[in-house]
Amino acid sequence: MTIRPAHDNDLQRISDIYSHAREQMILSGNPNQWGNDKPSSETIKADIDNKQSYAITSSGQICGVFAFIIGPDPTYQIIEDGSWLNDEPYGTIHRIASSGQIKGILAEVLSFCECRIHSIRIHNIRIDTHEDNQIMQHLLKKYGYTKCGHIYVEDGTQRIAYQKNVLNTTARELLPK
């Protein structure tokens, strides 16, 4: 797998992947996180325009997508039922989705983002997920992310917030296993 910036000509494939991901969320007992229409086409386009959208490819085909944003996330300003590990700069992973054709997408995304922040001397990654997304919660714990509390996204719904500090992690440890 390789990860590259997403482009406008990837828009249809990315939309198809998000549609597939919504279907899978519903089948796995998580019908509310993205509902029938998230992320919106406007959000996907803005991620691409802001150079925050990444395509995961295998054999030249896009098999996954995610957004990675360096800097403060407005929805992370207030955390309830806990606290962040620290208040240092961070990158945020949003809108991870897979076509379902390749396993290990999340591991690849986490490794990419952790290496990316490590290279620019930022040491924290934040991510959130819906309470019903048991699969993501399990995987985040597996990959060393700490549950920090609850945040609220733009539409006012609650999410479980996670953070990982990679300060004492070597670049070699950040490579996919």
6-57, pLDDT tens digit by residue? 999 999 999 999 999 999 989 988 888 887 889 999 999 999 999 999 999 9
Model confidence at 173, pLDDT cuts 50, 70, 90, reads low
Phi/psi for 6 (5° steps) reads -80, 150
Residue 116 has pLDDT above 80, yes or no: yes
Question: In angstroms, what CA-CA distances link 10 with 3, 21, 89, 103, 109?
Answer: 13, 16, 30, 21, 18
Query: Is-contact 95 67, C-beta < 8 A?
Result: yes
CA within 13 Å, CB half, 155: 11
pLDDT at 172: 46
Indicate which CATH number applies to the domain containing 12: 3.40.630.30
175 pLDDT above the threshold of 70: no
Give the distance between the most distant pair of CA atoms in the chain: 43
Return mean pLDDT, the chain.
Answer: 92
Domain limits for position 114: 2-174
| pTM recorded for the entire structure | 0.90
Contact (CB, 8 A) for 92 and 76: yes
The total domain count for the chain is: 1
Partners of residue 2 on adjacent β-strands: 57
